[in-house]
Amino acid sequence: MKTVKIGLLGLGNIGTGTYKTLEMNKVHMVEATGLNFEISKILERDTTKKRDIAVCQEQFTQDPDDIFKDPEIDIVIELLGGIEPATTFMLDAMKHKKSVVTANKAAVAANFEKLTETAKANQVEFRYEASVGGGIPIINALTTVLQANEFVEIQGILNGTTNYILTQMTEFGLQYEDVLKKAQELGFAEADPTADVEGIDVANKLSILISIMFKKYVAPKNIPTKGISSITQQDIEAAKAEDSKIKLLAYAHKNGSHLEYSVKPMVLKNSHPLASVSNEFNAVYVTGNAVGEVMFYGKGAGPLPTGSAVMGDVLEIAKKLYNK
Ligand SMILES: NC(=O)C1=CN([C@@H]2O[C@H](COP(=O)(O)OP(=O)(O)OC[C@H]3O[C@@H](n4cnc5c(N)ncnc54)[C@H](OP(=O)(O)O)[C@@H]3O)[C@@H](O)[C@H]2O)C=CC1
Ligand SMILES: N[C@@H](CC=O)C(=O)O
């Protein structure tokens, strides 16, 4: 049986979640694809750190070229985070004829066209399902079963950390700083959680969805964005008194050639379907001109849900490469 060798860039929260997903479901993955999967090399800064997975010292490297120039590796997973050097590494991997999988919305949103075009030019696959909605298969749905639609609108909760913070503040009256710390411990937050609480992470995800749905690139910095850092317990109590909840919402709507978009906290009546989406769960409504309204719901953050999406992309690429 063919063993698909994978190069992994970054063994942090999501790298570890991806590694665990592979270990946990290896037999199932063999049955599903007829292929065996192995993470053979890992790029990490600190190769001596104590980890809760069994990784051999020989798997680690601090030189990305050890991965890009390895003829046995066909698929590279990028889970370093940040725009650079992640983007340069993904482009380098593609130029070395490696297919690339990433969860890095900051890098994908900043360089959407460059990454997708470089993949095409090098005839390799580029997949980024985990970059939007964690474990929710929204990008796959938009680009496959929903592709016959002209899309009209998208609206939803696209950040697990802020939804977790707002839920815990609303339901248990907890303090913003305490809940943010807990979200970091649970592996939901970005390395710099400013991106979460100021709405930047949602703007990155919305930019990617706009590129896919409306075939138009809108840089995240051009999306009017407001986060939740200024929301107080008083704001939350005031919403409660109105039988409502505060949620951080992403929105984009196309009307003819006019496209409008925003990221901002909104007060939703408790009867609104998005008001009942709690903790790290995300939910997104997509409206297509044929299908009407479709709702996606699931865990939008966390090592295993995100690892599920990353490995799903790896399996799809491997089936294309080896099961001809
Ligand atoms: N957390 C979540 O639920 C989700 C996260 N994502 C995305 O997944 C990606 C990874 O996130 P996460 O795992 O939480 O981040 P972490 O910071 O936990 O992990 C990144 C790892 O990569 C290492 N690293 C970073 N830069 C380099 C470099 N230049 N060379 C070698 N090693 C490097 C870091 O080392 P060091 O610690 O020493 O810097 C760290 O171990 C991000 O793009 C994030 O946005 C996507 C969906 C959900
Ligand atoms: N920090 C992000 C991680 C997933 O994309 C979030 O909280 O949603």
d(CA 220, CA 105): 10
**91 is an annotated ligand-binding site residue:** no
Residue nearest to atom 1 of ligand 2 (CA): 189
Phi and psi dihedrals of 187, rounded to 5?
A: 80, 20
**212 is an annotated ligand-binding site residue:** no
Average pLDDT over residues 54-75: 97
Residue 85, preceding peptide bond in cis (omega within 30° of 0): yes
The band of 324, judged by pLDDT with boundaries at 50, 70 and 90, is low
**14 is an annotated ligand-binding site residue:** yes
Reported as a single tens digit per residue, the pLDDT across 251-292 is 999 999 999 999 999 999 999 999 999 999 999 999 999 999
ipTM of the predicted structure?
Answer: 0.99
| Cross-strand pairs, 288 | 151, 292
Reported as a single tens digit per residue, the pLDDT across 193-244 is 999 999 999 999 999 999 999 999 999 999 999 999 999 999 999 999 999 9
**Which atom of ligand 1 is the closest one to the Cα of 16?**
13
- State the burial class of residue 146 (Cβ atoms within 10 Å of its Cβ: 0-12, 13-18, 19+): middle
d(CA 33, CA 134): 23
Distance between Cα 161 and ligand 2 center (Å) = 6
Taking the model in full, what pTM does it have?
0.98
Q: Report whether residue 13 contacts ligand 2, using a CB cutoff of 6 Å.
A: no
pLDDT at 323: 82
Average pLDDT over residues 150-169: 98
Distance between Cα 294 and ligand 2 center (Å) = 22
Q: Ligand 1 pocket check: which of 8, 79, 138 to mutate, most ligand atoms within 8 Å of Cβ?
A: 79
- Of 5, 41, 98, 205, the catalytic one is 205
Reported as type and span, the H/E element at residue 108 is helix 105-110
Q: At what angle do helices 303-322 and 26-33 cross, to 10 degrees?
A: 30
Residue nearest to atom 4 of ligand 2 (CA): 301
Q: Residue 229 contacts by C-beta under 8 Å, 6 or more apart in sequence?
A: 176, 197, 198
CA 271 to chain centre: 28
Average pLDDT over residues 55-80: 97
Distance between Cα 193 and ligand 2 center (Å) = 9
Q: Which domains does the chain have, with CATH numbers?
A: 3-134+304-322 (3.40.50.720), 140-299 (3.30.360.10)
Q: Ligand 1 pocket check: which of 8, 11, 13 to mutate, most ligand atoms within 8 Å of Cβ?
A: 13
Reported as a single tens digit per residue, the pLDDT across 10-28 is 999 999 999 999 999 999 9
Average pLDDT over residues 318-323: 94
**246 is an annotated ligand-binding site residue:** no
Phi and psi dihedrals of 144, rounded to 5?
A: -120, -90
Q: Residue 277 contacts by C-beta under 8 Å, 6 or more apart in sequence?
A: 157, 163, 247, 283, 297
Distance between Cα 87 and ligand 2 center (Å) = 19
Task: Give a three-class secondary structure readout of 213-263.
Answer: HHCCCCCHHHCCECCCCCCCHHHHHHHHHCCEEEEEEEEEEEECCEEEEEE
Q: Report whether residue 188 contacts ligand 2, using a CB cutoff of 6 Å.
A: yes
Distance between Cα 189 and ligand 1 center (Å) = 11
Average pLDDT over residues 138-155: 98
Average pLDDT over residues 72-80: 98
- % of the chain at pLDDT higher than 90: 98
Residues with CB under 6 A from ligand 1: 10-15, 43-46, 79-81, 85, 103-105, 130, 134, 187-188, 190-191, 301-302, 306
pLDDT at 301 > cutoff 90 = yes
Active-site residue flag, 95: no
- % of the chain at pLDDT higher than 70: 100
**12 is an annotated ligand-binding site residue:** yes
